[in-house]
Amino acid sequence: MIFNKTVKNILQSPISFLLFLLLIITSFLFFFNDFHQEDASILQVHYIDVGQGDSILIQTPQNRNILIDGGEKNQGSFLKGYLEKQGVKHLHMVIGTHPHADHIGGLGFILENFSTDLIILPPIAHTTKTFEDLLSTIERENIPLRSIPSSEPYLFENNLILEFLGPHRDFQDHLNNWSVVLKLTYLNHRFLFTGDIEYAAENALIQDFSPETLSSHVLKVPHHGSSTSSSLSFLEAVAPRISVISSGKENPYGHPHKETVERLLNFSPHLYRTDLQGTILIESDGVELWSPTSPISHDTSGY
């Protein structure tokens, strides 16, 4: 009764009414904010446009950051800005897929600018200055360095599993095939990151793992869409719904190669290309998968 009377008094005075309205709006905003925080259970995978090269930022539902590759050295400063724009202050894991400059060139600058828990590199050395500079930075910054872990599923955080599927063979001096291959599973969705692997490493994956293990909703297309990768049998095993090609506009290698794009379009109903569309963001809440960017080609069956 007292409450009803108070409410009635408030509603009768214009100023009190406005204050009352403000209180309602504020409460709503608090509620919405709480609701929004629950929305933090979204996984974001940014295929960053670093020209000809690779750089992928994974922001996990529990706000951890994983960076796979850092593009060429001249992309370091742009990449730093991009990470800052995404609110990245700390990197929980950095992966240099293999020692080529278009993958590790920009990583040194990133490691100097962001505290990093762990860096993972494949067990292969390279004699270039770029690779040696990266090793010196890792040592100078005192960042724990690990060769790739076993392929056993590793619970990175609640509901998010990492599997290091490669390299687990000796590919001699074929550096591309030594690329770290990482599978990420978040609830219903699986993402496959392949660096620059070519046919030999793809075949090794097919021999070492079942199609159930390899099958993924989202494939980072190996080696910038080169025709020496993405074999029919590999695409059959992975059967991606979404494929993302990371390559530079008018690059001297002609990446992605026409035949690879055609092969991908036959297998993967949704194709994205950083050379044509810039940075591609793919998001998942574990049930739905979406992107703010429309794919180059798509069917109507959804993801």
Nearer to Zn ion, 94 or 160 (CB): 94
Nearer to Zn ion, 217 or 257 (CB): 257
Q: Which stretch binds Zn ion (CB under 5 A): 79-87, 97-105, 211-219, 272-280?
A: 97-105
Question: Residues in contact with Zn ion, total (CB under 5 A)?
Answer: 2
Q: Which stretch binds Zn ion (CB under 5 A): 30-38, 151-159, 189-197, 203-211?
A: 189-197
Nearer to Zn ion, 163 or 196 (CB): 196
What's the gap between Cα 112 and its chain centre? 21
Least distance to Zn ion, CB of residue 106, Å: 12
Please, where are the H alpha helices in the chain? 2-12, 14-38, 76-85, 101-104, 107-113, 129-140, 199-208, 211-214, 232-238, 258-267, 274-277
Least distance to Zn ion, CB of residue 64, Å: 25
Nearer to Zn ion, 196 or 198 (CB): 196
Least distance to Zn ion, CB of residue 187, Å: 30
Instruction: Give the residues across from 185 on adjacent strands.
Output: 161, 190
Q: Which stretch binds Zn ion (CB under 5 A): 16-24, 40-48, 100-108, 229-237?
A: 100-108
Q: In the numeric block, which tokens belong to residue 49?
A: 């446009």
Candidates 72, 102, 202, 275: give the one binding Zn ion (CB under 5 A). 102
Candidates 72, 163, 196, 275: give the one binding Zn ion (CB under 5 A). 196
Please give the Cα distance from 97 to 123 (Å, whole number).
Answer: 10
Interface with Zn ion, residue 72, by CB under 5 A: no
DSSP string, 68-95: E---SGGGHHHHHHHHHHTT--EESEEE
Q: Count of CB atoms within 10 A of residue 39's CB?
A: 9
Least distance to Zn ion, CB of residue 177, Å: 12
Non-local CB neighbours of 242 within 8 Å, separated by 6+ positions: 217, 218, 219, 268, 270, 271, 272, 282, 289, 291, 295, 303
Which residues bind to Zn ion, rule: CB under 5 A?
102, 196
